[in-house]
Amino acid sequence: MTFTINSTLEMANSVKIPIFGLGTYLLTGNQGQKAIECALKVGYRLIDTATLYNNEKIVGNALKNTKVPRDQVFITSKVWNSDQGYSRTLNAFNKSLSNLGVDFLDLYLIHWPVEGKWKDTWHALEELYIKGKVRAIGVSNFYISHLEELLKIASIKPMVNQIEFHPFLYKKDILEYCQEKGIVLESYAPLTHGYKINDIKSPQFLQLIEKYNKSAAQIMLRWNIQLGNVIIPKSINPSHIKENAEIFDFTISVDDMHYLDSFNEDFHSDWDPSD
């Protein structure tokens, strides 16, 4: 499998999404903005933000400061729970555009399936898409039962489902479901929010680190893209930002992919959508 930092996946509407980008949860202030600018310099071409992260303005500042043209950076934002419902979502979207200083988004997601609200929220996303204000729409934290409900009421199918996904939370059923329905799976917290990276002392990881001459973080990220997913690791540290991008010069063998699959322990670093 050959991937590069510029590789993309084609979504159901033929729009291309980079397979690799920067997560921005907790990236705030000047240091956060510098981290985003650093990532753009290293070659990241997807930036994942959300109203909840309270950092759309610094993402916008970083976009203004970069030499990379707007149409070469894929920008995602998400509608937060308190903004859900039809008209509130339309307002929240406009606020996000203004905070980011852009006139369209590449991807807009429902952040969480808020009971009683998310269907109206979806219809607002459909309207934004039809009006050409966003190039693709999708959901986040939707498990199979939510997706089944959504597919029943949607006139436009979701192009992406962003869920927590890493070797310690290997949601194979959702991955297969999304692949069958033509929905791109975007893995959030691909580094377990940092929790399991300290497990590099584990003899299992050590063996792989030695064999591939890569860090535990790099092995986890590579596993994810070899499964066909988009990944959005977050870091504020320039050396981690660079390290996380150096995953395109090795391939994990089929046996080692299965070995990493076996790390699954249903470990959620974030809330569990099925709970």
Ligand X SMILES: NC(=O)c1ccc[n+]([C@@H]2O[C@H](COP(=O)([O-])OP(=O)(O)OC[C@H]3O[C@@H](n4cnc5c(N)ncnc54)[C@H](OP(=O)(O)O)[C@@H]3O)[C@@H](O)[C@H]2O)c1
Regarding 217 and contact with ligand X (CB under 6 A), the answer is: yes
Which of 17, 18, 20, 23 touches ligand X (CB under 6 A)?
Answer: 23
Q: Name which of 236 and 257 has its Cβ closer to ligand X.
A: 236
Regarding 240 and contact with ligand X (CB under 6 A), the answer is: yes
Regarding 183 and contact with ligand X (CB under 6 A), the answer is: no
17 three-state secondary structure: strand
Q: Name which of 127 and 246 has its Cβ closer to ligand X.
A: 246
DSSP string, 100-160: HT-S-BSEEEESS--TTTHHHHHHHHHHHHHTTSBS-EEEES--HHHHHHHHHH-SS--SE
Q: How far is the CB of 211 from ligand X (least distance, A)?
A: 18
Burial class of 138 by CB neighbour count within 10 A (0 to 12, 13 to 18, 19+) = buried
Q: Name which of 27 and 90 has its Cβ closer to ligand X.
A: 27
Q: Select the residue whose beta carbon is closest to ligand X and give its number.
A: 23
Pairing of strands 8-10, 16-18: antiparallel
Regarding 191 and contact with ligand X (CB under 6 A), the answer is: yes
Regarding 256 and contact with ligand X (CB under 6 A), the answer is: no
Regarding 194 and contact with ligand X (CB under 6 A), the answer is: yes
Measure the CA–CA gap between 145 and 140, rounded to whole angstroms. Answer: 13
Q: Name which of 67 and 140 has its Cβ closer to ligand X.
A: 140
Which of 137, 142, 190, 214 touches ligand X (CB under 6 A)?
Answer: 190
H-helix segments, 168-236: 172-181, 203-212, 216-226
Regarding 234 and contact with ligand X (CB under 6 A), the answer is: yes
Scanning the structure block, which residue is given the tokens 């076996």? 262
Regarding 33 and contact with ligand X (CB under 6 A), the answer is: no
Catalytic residue among 53, 108, 129, 170: 53
Q: Name which of 146 and 193 has its Cβ closer to ligand X.
A: 193
Measure the CA–CA gap between 128 and 135, rounded to whole angstroms. Answer: 9
Window 78 to 137, contacts with ligand X (CB under 6 A): 111
Regarding 233 and contact with ligand X (CB under 6 A), the answer is: yes
Measure the CA–CA gap between 267 and 169, rounded to whole angstroms. Answer: 5
Q: Quick one: tokens of 274?
A: 């099925």
Regarding 248 and contact with ligand X (CB under 6 A), the answer is: no
What are φ and ψ of residue 98, in 5° steps?
-70, -45
- Active-site residue 108, yes or no? no
Interacting residues toward ligand X by CB under 6 A: 23-25, 48, 111, 140-141, 162, 188-194, 197, 215, 217, 232-237, 240, 243-244, 270
Which residue numbers are catalytic? 53
